[in-house]
Amino acid sequence: MDDTTTYRPTRIALVGDRSETIRAHAKIPSLLDPLSSSGSPRLEIYWIHSNEAHDAACLGGFDGIWVIPGSPYESAAGVLAAIEVARTEGIPFLGTCGGFQHALLEFARDVCALTEAANAEESPDAELLLITPLECSLLGEEAEIVVAPGTLAASLMGPGRRTERFFCRYGLNTEFRSLLESRGMVFSATDTNDDPRVAELPGHPHFLASLFQPELASDATWVHPVIVGFVAAARARSGAALETTA
């Protein structure tokens, strides 16, 4: 492509239940606006309610899918369907907070054959709880994580220790960690007790989920590298699509 190429917009879906009472939802558009104006292709942002996320054909047309915080979602099934589309169709994916939890849940059910895996926030009495309450609640807390070298997370944030902002009370039941890892999931950042805080899928163009919320640490003057990397991957997908159809 040369400088005269007309780029088609990069289309990003924000999947979840948009609410004025959730701080992350108010911040995300203000973070994506400067990224939209600072590169090509330009970004088009679409809010997709969890009840509307069941349509795989619709979601397959996006260049990036971000499952935003705000669980429990009105339709967990819709959120899981969106994650499956991103995972199986190679669409750049970002999941934050509830998006992290549901990315693990989708992987456990559809890749690890744990079809009864459940989230304690939604089904506290279920027999097979993959997502359980954290030993220490991280509602509005900052906490240290350790990023593993040689991972997507490290390429975005750098390896080693860093402090991130959380707003969450649920995480992975570590009894299932080795099973998820055996089927290809990599936990590329942990807390100081080695409990998973970031998950990714090697071999996927860009699949990363974080229990912390990078949007809460960002503002219009500085956007968290996890978000910048996701947008770059979505732009790369839309550019590749343009080359293919040119």
Quick count: other Cβ atoms within 10 Å of Cβ 1? 10
CA 190, CA 196: separation in Å to the nearest integer?
A: 4
Q: Using an 8 Å Cβ cutoff, are 235 and 2 in contact?
A: no
Six token digits for residue 198? 């970031």
Per-residue confidence of the chain (246 residues) as pLDDT tens digits? 444 455 689 999 999 999 988 888 988 988 888 787 776 778 999 999 999 998 777 898 999 999 999 999 999 999 999 999 999 999 999 999 999 999 999 999 999 999 999 999 999 999 999 999 997 666 767 899 999 999 999 999 999 999 999 988 899 999 999 999 999 999 999 999 999 999 999 999 999 999 999 999 888 788 999 999 999 999 999 886 544 444
Phi/psi at 237 (5° precision): -65, -45
Question: So what's the pLDDT on residue 42?
Answer: 85
CA 38, CA 133: separation in Å to the nearest integer?
A: 40
**What is the per-residue pLDDT across 14-29, written as a single tens digit (0 to 9) for each?**
999 999 888 889 889 8
Comparing C-alpha atoms, which of 67, 85, 59 is closest to residue 18?
A: 67
Question: So what's the pLDDT on residue 242?
Answer: 47
Reduced DSSP (H G I as helix, E B as strand, rest coil) percent helix, strand, coil of the chain, to 5: 35, 25, 35
User: 3-class DSSP state for residue 227?
Assistant: helix
Question: So what's the pLDDT on residue 200?
Answer: 98
Question: So what's the pLDDT on residue 240?
Answer: 60
Question: So what's the pLDDT on residue 8?
Answer: 82
Residue 162: strand pairing partners: 145
CA 158, CA 174: separation in Å to the nearest integer?
A: 25
Q: Which helix (H) or strand (E) holds 190?
A: strand 186-191
Six token digits for residue 65? 């899918």
Strand order in the sheet with 168-172: 118-119, 129-138, 168-172
Question: So what's the pLDDT on residue 246?
Answer: 41
**Who contacts 207 (Cβ-Cβ below 8 Å, separation ≥6)?**
86, 87, 92, 93, 103, 200, 201
Q: Which domains does the chain have, with CATH numbers?
A: 10-245 (3.40.50.880)
Residue 12: strand pairing partners: 45, 64
Question: So what's the pLDDT on residue 6?
Answer: 59
Question: So what's the pLDDT on residue 92?
Answer: 98
Question: So what's the pLDDT on residue 136?
Answer: 67
Q: What is the dihedral of CA 52, 66, 104, 182, to 10 degrees?
A: 130
CA 73 to chain centre: 15
CA 242, CA 142: separation in Å to the nearest integer?
A: 41
